[in-house]
Each structure stands twice: as structure tokens, then as C-alpha cells.
Amino acid sequence: MKPVVRCRLGCRAAENLILADDTLNLAGTHWDTVIDGCKRWLDAYSNHTKYVQMKALADTNFDRFNANLKDIRNILIAILGVSRPWEVLVGQAIAKLTNGHGHQGEHSLRNYLGEKVSTKILKI
């Protein structure tokens, strides 16, 4: 039996994987479009129960790598225009990485997953 390898994500939490470039690409959108959608949402839903959490994202200058997205993940999925659960979208984006596809750079899914997850688990 092989030993268990403990890994941490490169980004804050699993919900941040929603906003990696690879995931956004799979959803058929881009980061600038998401920022515009978040701003429109903030303008339209000032009385929403999750307004404070969405405003916190905006107040970080939309720091998608480090922001706490747990409470607004479903709002973000709606802004992306995706009908499937966020976990499915992220899983599909990860699966594409294992097929040799993927963005490079600061906001790549590989970077959000972290080096150890990418090399030890996914072997990419």
C-alpha cells in the first residue's frame, strides 16, 4: 500500500478554482466578463443576503486567487451562466488538464491547484 500524500491547494480554497482561467474558458467566458457581472450584481442586489460577501470580493480588487468565495460560489456560477454545479465544472476543467490542455501563468488552473497536486496527483 502506497503512503497517502497530503496536498494543499495553491489558492485559498476549492471554490477559487471556479475563477481559474481554465475553468472560465470551459464555461465560455473570461475574467473581465466575470468582473463586469459581479459589478452588475452588486448594483442590482444591494439587499441580498450575500451582498456583504460579494462586496468583500470587489473590495479586494477582485482577488480571485485569495478571496473567500465559499458563500458566493453559487452566485458566481450564475454569473458565469453555467447550469451545472460548480464542482462538476471544476472537475471537468481538471480533467481537461490531464489531457494535455491548459492555460499557463498566474491564473491557470494548474497554479490554483498547486505544484504538488499537479505533479503528484494529476501527473501533469
Query: Can you give the chain as a three-state secondary structure string?
Result: CCCCCCCCCCCCCHHHHHHCHHHHHHCCCCHHHHHHHHHHHHHHCCCCCCHHHHHHHHHCCCCCCCCCCHHHHHHHHHHHCCCCCHHHHHHHHHHHHHCCCCCCCCCCHHHHHCHHHHHHHCCC
pLDDT tens digits for range 89-119: 999 999 998 777 777 889 999 999 998 888 7
Domain residue extents for the chain: 14-121
More confident call, 15 vs 99: 15
pLDDT for the residue 121: 72
pLDDT tens digits for range 78-92: 999 999 999 999 999
% of the chain beyond a pLDDT of 70:
98
pLDDT for the residue 103: 73
pTM confidence score: 0.91
Q: Which three cell numbers stand for residue 63?
A: 482577488
